Structure 1
Amino acid sequence: MQGVILLGIGVLLAACAQGGTPGAGGSAPEYRKITPEEAKTVMDGQEPFVLVDVRTKEEYDGGHIPGALLLPDADIERLAPDMLPDKEAKILLYCRSGRRSELAARKLLEMGYTQVLDFGGILDWKYGIE
Protein backbone atom coordinates (compact mmCIF):
# COMPACT_ATOMS: atom_id res chain seq x y z
CA MET A 1 0.00 0.00 0.00
CA GLN A 2 2.81 2.39 0.90
CA GLY A 3 4.39 1.79 -2.53
CA VAL A 4 1.15 2.73 -4.29
CA ILE A 5 0.92 5.97 -2.31
CA LEU A 6 4.54 6.86 -3.11
CA LEU A 7 3.96 6.05 -6.78
CA GLY A 8 0.89 8.34 -6.81
CA ILE A 9 2.85 11.15 -5.21
CA GLY A 10 5.64 10.67 -7.78
CA VAL A 11 3.17 10.90 -10.67
CA LEU A 12 1.66 14.11 -9.26
CA LEU A 13 5.08 15.69 -8.77
CA ALA A 14 6.09 14.75 -12.31
CA ALA A 15 2.91 16.35 -13.70
CA CYS A 16 3.59 19.56 -11.79
CA ALA A 17 7.18 19.68 -13.02
CA GLN A 18 5.98 19.36 -16.63
CA GLY A 19 3.61 22.32 -16.51
CA GLY A 20 0.76 21.30 -14.27
CA THR A 21 -2.50 19.71 -15.24
CA PRO A 22 -3.29 18.81 -18.83
CA GLY A 23 -5.21 21.51 -20.68
CA ALA A 24 -4.24 24.17 -18.13
CA GLY A 25 -3.29 26.72 -20.78
CA GLY A 26 0.26 25.80 -21.78
CA SER A 27 2.91 28.35 -22.68
CA ALA A 28 2.58 31.68 -24.46
CA PRO A 29 2.75 31.72 -28.27
CA GLU A 30 6.27 32.02 -29.64
CA TYR A 31 7.67 34.34 -32.27
CA ARG A 32 7.25 32.91 -35.78
CA LYS A 33 9.15 34.01 -38.87
CA ILE A 34 7.78 32.89 -42.24
CA THR A 35 8.91 33.50 -45.80
CA PRO A 36 7.24 35.97 -48.16
CA GLU A 37 6.10 32.93 -50.17
CA GLU A 38 4.39 31.46 -47.10
CA ALA A 39 2.75 34.83 -46.42
CA LYS A 40 1.46 34.95 -50.00
CA THR A 41 -0.03 31.48 -49.55
CA VAL A 42 -1.88 32.69 -46.44
CA MET A 43 -3.10 35.77 -48.32
CA ASP A 44 -4.33 33.68 -51.23
CA GLY A 45 -6.08 31.18 -48.95
CA GLN A 46 -9.56 31.15 -47.50
CA GLU A 47 -8.70 31.89 -43.86
CA PRO A 48 -9.16 35.45 -42.63
CA PHE A 49 -6.05 37.45 -41.77
CA VAL A 50 -4.93 41.01 -41.08
CA LEU A 51 -1.98 42.39 -43.03
CA VAL A 52 0.03 45.00 -41.10
CA ASP A 53 2.78 47.31 -42.37
CA VAL A 54 4.86 48.51 -39.39
CA ARG A 55 6.91 51.11 -41.30
CA THR A 56 6.45 54.88 -41.05
CA LYS A 57 3.63 56.72 -42.81
CA GLU A 58 6.10 58.17 -45.30
CA GLU A 59 7.39 54.69 -46.21
CA TYR A 60 3.84 53.34 -46.45
CA ASP A 61 2.78 56.23 -48.70
CA GLY A 62 5.77 55.46 -50.94
CA GLY A 63 4.40 51.98 -51.66
CA HIS A 64 2.84 49.16 -49.66
CA ILE A 65 1.32 45.72 -50.13
CA PRO A 66 -2.34 46.05 -51.18
CA GLY A 67 -4.72 45.74 -48.25
CA ALA A 68 -2.11 46.45 -45.58
CA LEU A 69 -3.02 48.48 -42.51
CA LEU A 70 -0.46 51.04 -41.41
CA LEU A 71 0.55 50.49 -37.78
CA PRO A 72 4.03 51.91 -37.22
CA ASP A 73 6.13 49.79 -34.90
CA ALA A 74 6.72 52.77 -32.60
CA ASP A 75 2.94 52.98 -32.01
CA ILE A 76 2.13 49.27 -31.63
CA GLU A 77 1.46 49.29 -27.90
CA ARG A 78 -0.71 52.41 -28.10
CA LEU A 79 -2.70 51.68 -31.29
CA ALA A 80 -2.91 47.88 -31.53
CA PRO A 81 -5.78 47.44 -29.03
CA ASP A 82 -8.04 49.62 -31.21
CA MET A 83 -6.72 48.64 -34.65
CA LEU A 84 -6.36 44.93 -33.87
CA PRO A 85 -9.12 44.18 -31.35
CA ASP A 86 -9.17 40.39 -31.97
CA LYS A 87 -6.16 38.90 -30.21
CA GLU A 88 -6.90 35.52 -31.84
CA ALA A 89 -6.79 36.89 -35.42
CA LYS A 90 -4.04 35.78 -37.78
CA ILE A 91 -1.76 38.80 -38.21
CA LEU A 92 0.88 39.06 -40.93
CA LEU A 93 3.55 41.70 -40.32
CA TYR A 94 6.17 43.28 -42.55
CA CYS A 95 8.46 46.32 -42.61
CA ARG A 96 11.27 47.34 -44.98
CA SER A 97 13.96 44.77 -44.19
CA GLY A 98 12.59 42.63 -41.35
CA ARG A 99 14.08 44.19 -38.23
CA ARG A 100 11.07 46.31 -37.21
CA SER A 101 8.57 43.60 -38.08
CA GLU A 102 10.34 41.20 -35.72
CA LEU A 103 10.29 43.75 -32.90
CA ALA A 104 6.62 44.52 -33.57
CA ALA A 105 5.72 40.81 -33.67
CA ARG A 106 7.41 40.26 -30.32
CA LYS A 107 5.53 43.25 -28.82
CA LEU A 108 2.20 41.91 -30.06
CA LEU A 109 2.93 38.49 -28.60
CA GLU A 110 3.75 40.10 -25.26
CA MET A 111 0.42 41.93 -25.47
CA GLY A 112 -1.44 38.63 -25.78
CA TYR A 113 -1.90 38.23 -29.54
CA THR A 114 -1.70 34.56 -30.44
CA GLN A 115 -1.25 34.22 -34.23
CA VAL A 116 1.43 36.70 -35.21
CA LEU A 117 3.50 35.87 -38.29
CA ASP A 118 6.45 37.99 -39.37
CA PHE A 119 7.39 37.69 -43.03
CA GLY A 120 10.19 40.23 -42.98
CA GLY A 121 10.65 43.11 -45.35
CA ILE A 122 8.93 44.54 -48.37
CA LEU A 123 12.36 44.45 -50.03
CA ASP A 124 11.87 40.67 -50.38
CA TRP A 125 8.24 40.92 -51.54
CA LYS A 126 7.94 40.06 -55.23
CA TYR A 127 4.18 40.06 -55.65
CA GLY A 128 3.48 43.75 -56.26
CA ILE A 129 2.87 46.88 -54.24
CA GLU A 130 0.57 49.88 -54.60
Structure 2
Amino acid sequence: MKQILPILLSFLLLTGCSGNSTDGYQQITQEEAKEMMDTQEVIILDVREQDEYDSGHIPGAVLLPVGSIDEDTATEVIPEKDSTVLVYCRSGNRSKTASSALAELGYTNIYEFGGISTWPYETES
Protein backbone atom coordinates (compact mmCIF):
# COMPACT_ATOMS: atom_id res chain seq x y z
CA MET A 1 0.00 0.00 0.00
CA LYS A 2 2.86 2.41 0.77
CA GLN A 3 4.21 1.92 -2.75
CA ILE A 4 0.84 2.45 -4.42
CA LEU A 5 0.14 5.77 -2.72
CA PRO A 6 2.95 7.75 -4.44
CA ILE A 7 1.93 6.32 -7.82
CA LEU A 8 -1.71 7.20 -7.21
CA LEU A 9 -0.81 10.72 -6.09
CA SER A 10 1.38 11.21 -9.16
CA PHE A 11 -1.45 10.05 -11.40
CA LEU A 12 -3.91 12.42 -9.74
CA LEU A 13 -1.49 15.32 -10.07
CA LEU A 14 -0.88 14.60 -13.74
CA THR A 15 -4.54 14.14 -14.62
CA GLY A 16 -6.55 16.14 -12.13
CA CYS A 17 -4.36 19.16 -11.69
CA SER A 18 -3.00 19.57 -15.17
CA GLY A 19 -5.53 22.23 -15.95
CA ASN A 20 -8.50 22.67 -18.17
CA SER A 21 -8.42 20.20 -21.01
CA THR A 22 -12.13 20.42 -21.90
CA ASP A 23 -11.38 23.36 -24.22
CA GLY A 24 -8.76 21.32 -26.06
CA TYR A 25 -5.75 22.69 -24.23
CA GLN A 26 -4.14 22.37 -20.83
CA GLN A 27 -3.48 25.15 -18.39
CA ILE A 28 -0.11 24.81 -16.68
CA THR A 29 1.93 26.88 -14.24
CA GLN A 30 4.71 29.16 -15.34
CA GLU A 31 7.16 26.87 -13.55
CA GLU A 32 5.92 23.92 -15.62
CA ALA A 33 6.20 26.00 -18.79
CA LYS A 34 9.77 27.00 -17.97
CA GLU A 35 10.71 23.38 -17.29
CA MET A 36 9.22 22.36 -20.65
CA MET A 37 11.14 25.17 -22.37
CA ASP A 38 14.37 23.95 -20.80
CA THR A 39 13.90 20.24 -21.48
CA GLN A 40 11.80 19.82 -24.64
CA GLU A 41 11.42 21.13 -28.14
CA VAL A 42 8.56 23.60 -27.85
CA ILE A 43 7.08 26.54 -29.70
CA ILE A 44 6.65 29.52 -27.37
CA LEU A 45 3.75 31.55 -28.67
CA ASP A 46 3.20 35.18 -27.67
CA VAL A 47 -0.35 36.20 -28.62
CA ARG A 48 -0.10 39.90 -27.71
CA GLU A 49 0.22 42.76 -30.20
CA GLN A 50 3.45 43.74 -31.97
CA ASP A 51 4.19 46.74 -29.73
CA GLU A 52 3.73 44.62 -26.60
CA TYR A 53 6.03 41.94 -28.01
CA ASP A 54 8.64 44.57 -28.93
CA SER A 55 8.63 45.96 -25.38
CA GLY A 56 9.63 42.58 -23.96
CA HIS A 57 9.01 38.89 -24.57
CA ILE A 58 10.21 35.46 -23.50
CA PRO A 59 13.40 34.50 -25.35
CA GLY A 60 12.61 32.39 -28.41
CA ALA A 61 8.94 33.36 -28.45
CA VAL A 62 7.21 33.89 -31.78
CA LEU A 63 4.46 36.44 -32.22
CA LEU A 64 0.96 35.50 -33.38
CA PRO A 65 -1.56 38.08 -32.16
CA VAL A 66 -4.75 36.44 -30.94
CA GLY A 67 -6.92 38.48 -33.33
CA SER A 68 -5.04 37.19 -36.35
CA ILE A 69 -5.22 33.46 -35.59
CA ASP A 70 -6.71 31.45 -38.44
CA GLU A 71 -5.74 28.31 -40.35
CA ASP A 72 -3.19 30.16 -42.53
CA THR A 73 -1.45 32.25 -39.87
CA ALA A 74 -1.32 29.34 -37.42
CA THR A 75 0.21 27.04 -40.06
CA GLU A 76 2.95 29.60 -40.77
CA VAL A 77 4.04 29.61 -37.11
CA ILE A 78 3.08 26.04 -36.13
CA PRO A 79 3.40 23.80 -39.20
CA GLU A 80 2.80 20.52 -37.34
CA LYS A 81 -0.55 20.03 -35.55
CA ASP A 82 1.10 17.84 -32.89
CA SER A 83 3.85 20.35 -31.98
CA THR A 84 4.09 21.27 -28.32
CA VAL A 85 2.95 24.88 -28.10
CA LEU A 86 3.26 27.04 -24.98
CA VAL A 87 0.93 30.05 -25.15
CA TYR A 88 1.10 33.30 -23.17
CA CYS A 89 -0.07 36.91 -23.33
CA ARG A 90 0.08 39.81 -20.86
CA SER A 91 -2.24 38.61 -18.11
CA GLY A 92 -3.67 35.28 -19.24
CA ASN A 93 -6.95 36.23 -20.90
CA ARG A 94 -5.88 36.37 -24.55
CA SER A 95 -3.76 33.25 -24.14
CA LYS A 96 -6.86 31.26 -23.12
CA THR A 97 -8.76 32.57 -26.17
CA ALA A 98 -5.82 31.79 -28.44
CA SER A 99 -5.36 28.30 -26.97
CA SER A 100 -9.02 27.49 -27.60
CA ALA A 101 -8.76 28.81 -31.16
CA LEU A 102 -5.69 26.66 -31.85
CA ALA A 103 -7.40 23.59 -30.42
CA GLU A 104 -10.40 24.24 -32.68
CA LEU A 105 -8.00 24.34 -35.63
CA GLY A 106 -6.82 20.83 -34.70
CA TYR A 107 -3.67 21.48 -32.68
CA THR A 108 -3.33 18.79 -30.04
CA ASN A 109 -0.52 19.80 -27.64
CA ILE A 110 -1.45 23.29 -26.51
CA TYR A 111 -0.38 24.48 -23.06
CA GLU A 112 -1.55 27.85 -21.75
CA PHE A 113 0.54 29.36 -18.96
CA GLY A 114 -0.86 32.82 -18.32
CA GLY A 115 0.79 36.16 -18.74
CA ILE A 116 4.21 37.70 -18.99
CA SER A 117 3.22 40.23 -16.32
CA THR A 118 3.94 37.57 -13.68
CA TRP A 119 6.73 35.73 -15.55
CA PRO A 120 9.60 35.42 -13.04
CA TYR A 121 12.23 34.37 -15.58
CA GLU A 122 14.28 36.07 -18.28
CA THR A 123 12.74 38.29 -20.95
CA GLU A 124 14.27 40.12 -23.88
CA SER A 125 13.37 43.14 -26.02
Do both share a fold (TM > 0.5)? Answer: yes
Q: CA RMSD in A?
A: 1.4
Q: Which of 66, 78, 87 is the matching residue for 2:59?
A: 66
**1:57 and 2:64 matched:** no
- 1:98 paired to 2:92: yes
Match of 1:15 in 2: none
Instruction: State the match for 1:123 in structure 2.
Output: 117
1:81 is displaced (CA, Å) by 1.6
Check whether the contact 2:47–2:63 (CA below 8 A) recurs between aligned residues.
yes
State the secondary structure of the residue aligned to 1:97. coil
C-alpha deviation, 1:87, in angstroms: 0.4
Structure number with greater Rg is 1
2-side partners of 1:110 and 1:121: how far apart?
21
Unaligned runs of 5+ in 1: 1-27
In structure 1, C-alpha distance between the alignment counterparts of 2:46 and 2:38, rounded to whole Å: 18
TM-score relative to the length of structure 2 = 0.78
Q: Quick check: 1:65–1:128 contact (8 Å CA) kept in 2? A: yes
Q: How does 1:80-91 map to 2 (within 5 A)?
A: 80-91=74-85
- 8 Å CA contact retained: 1:91, 1:115: yes
CA distance in structure 2 between the aligned counterparts of 1:75 and 1:61, rounded to whole angstroms: 17
Change (3 A) 1:73 1:29: closer
Aligned-residue offset at 1:30? 2.5
Q: How many residues end up aligned between the 2 structures?
A: 102
Moved over 2 A (4+): 28-31
Percent identity for Structure 1 against Structure 2: 48
Report the secondary structure of 1:119's partner residue. strand
- Structure 2 stretches of 5 or more lacking a match? 1-21
For residues 65 and 120 of structure 2, what CA distance do their matches in structure 1 show?
22
How has the CA–CA distance of structure 1 residues 33 and 93 changed in structure 2, closer, same or farther, with 3 Å as cutoff?
same
Q: Distance in 2 between matches of 1:104 and 1:41?
A: 22
**2:34 alignment partner, one of 32, 35, 40:** 40
1:29–1:114 contact (8 Å) kept in structure 2: no
Per the normalisation by structure 1, the TM-score is: 0.75
